[in-house]
Homo-oligomer: A and B are copies of this chain.
Amino acid sequence: VATPELVVDGPALDANIAAMQVLADDAGVTLRPHAKGHRSAWVARRQLDAGATGVAVATVREAATLLEGGITDLLLTSVVAPGRAEELAGLAAAGAALGFVAHTPAVVAALDEAATARGVRLRVLVDLDVGQRRGGVGTPRAAVAVARAVADAGALDLDGVQAYEGHLQGLEDAAERAAGHAAAMARLDAALAALREAGLPAATVTTAGTATAPLAAAHPGVTELQPGSYALMDATYAGLPGVAYAQAAFVLTTVTAVLGLGEVLVDAGTRAVGTDLGPAVVHDLDAVWLPAGDEHGRLRGAVGGLRPGDVVRLVPSHTDTTVVLHPPLAAP
């Protein structure tokens, strides 16, 4: 085994995909899985085959990668700088059914200009800030202004709003999460009421991550879920209440030396395992992985049975920042 290597447990992945689809279907909403956690057309195809209506992406590069892989129904969930509008219109011209979020009239104008120049139409959602403070519009009045700009633009179709509550995903207390969610949905409802009153009703209302999907699915007015982490999972999400998906992504690493009682050296370091959310854990052993350099790590805990050459599975604390350190995921 050429470790360190990122591997996927196919049956676990499929079980996760099926479970989230059932959640969406039972609530009567559509599912648009976020692909930023796997960045893989192969995984996205499995999600579409299971019933998803399209996928969400976080960057222009991800959109291009998935389009190359044959995935055409894409929503770019990040607000982009006006300077990228031409590139985005180019993706639409290349065959993508591409949706964008906008947060200022300046971005709307840049998108409209680029779409007009390319002869394409773009679907646009107003990005609402419902508590995350990541660039969305903060008031119902501002939402109406951006929506009006979209509706008045010649090459844009106003489709609705995005109300992603990313600030609630990591909360470890279920009651705190529920209270935060109610507050976020109140902000969403206020914006939706203002848009209706202005004659600009939202057809699509997209929101939710893996931890808030059940709450969002139950909120009247929400039409689409966009969770991502449920597909591959990680140790951080696995520790959250009510999040019951199977771990499907592992980093294989090889023991290279025994350092002492309860400590071994392995060949996975900070360039094989994402560390932004803390140490990884060892699968099926009461032990943790700690970084010991770019290409070295130490396992601490119940590792007395391990010898040089043994291969173990690490569960990353954050799969998103681990996946990007490895070649693109493909069929196991």
Q: Please, how many angstroms separate the alpha-carbon atoms of A293 and B276 in the complex?
A: 10
Report if A81 contacts B (CB, 8 A).
yes
User: Please, which residues of chain B bring their CB within 8 A of the CB of A242?
Assistant: none
Give the residues from 9 to 61 in chain A that come closer than 8 angstroms, CB to CB, to chain B: 36, 58-60
CB–CB A296/B134 < 8 A: yes
> B309–A81 contact, CB under 8 A?
yes
Counting chain A residues whose Cβ lies within 8 A of the other chain, the interface size class is: 35 or more
Contact across chains for A60 and B309 when beta carbons are under 8 A apart: no
- State which of A149-157, A183-191, A250-258 sits at the interface with chain B: A250-258
CB-contacts of A252-307 with B (<8 A)? 254-257, 259, 265, 267, 270-271, 274-276, 291-296
Residues of chain B within 8 A of A265, CB atoms compared? 79, 134-135
CB neighbours (8 Å) of A1 from chain B are: 83
Residues B296 and A78 in contact, CB atoms below 8 Å apart: yes
Does A166 belong to the interface (CB within 8 Å)? yes
> Is A324 engaged at the interface, CB distance under 8 Å to the other chain?
yes
- Tell yes or no: A118 within 8 A of B by CB: no
Q: Is A176 an interface residue (CB 8 A)?
A: no
A256 touches B321 (CB 8 A): no
Is A121 an interface residue when CB atoms closer than 8 A count as contact?
no
Cross-chain contact A257 with B320 (CB below 8 angstroms):
no
Contact A58 B295 (CB under 8 A): yes
Cβ-defined contact, A320 with B271, below 8 A: yes
Q: Say yes or no: is A106 at the interface (Cβ < 8 Å to chain B).
A: yes
CB distance from A269 to the nearest CB of B (A): 8
A–B pairs, 10, beta carbons within 8 Å: A2-B87, A78-B295, A80-B256, A81-B256, A82-B308, A104-B257, A135-B259, A135-B296, A270-B318, A294-B321
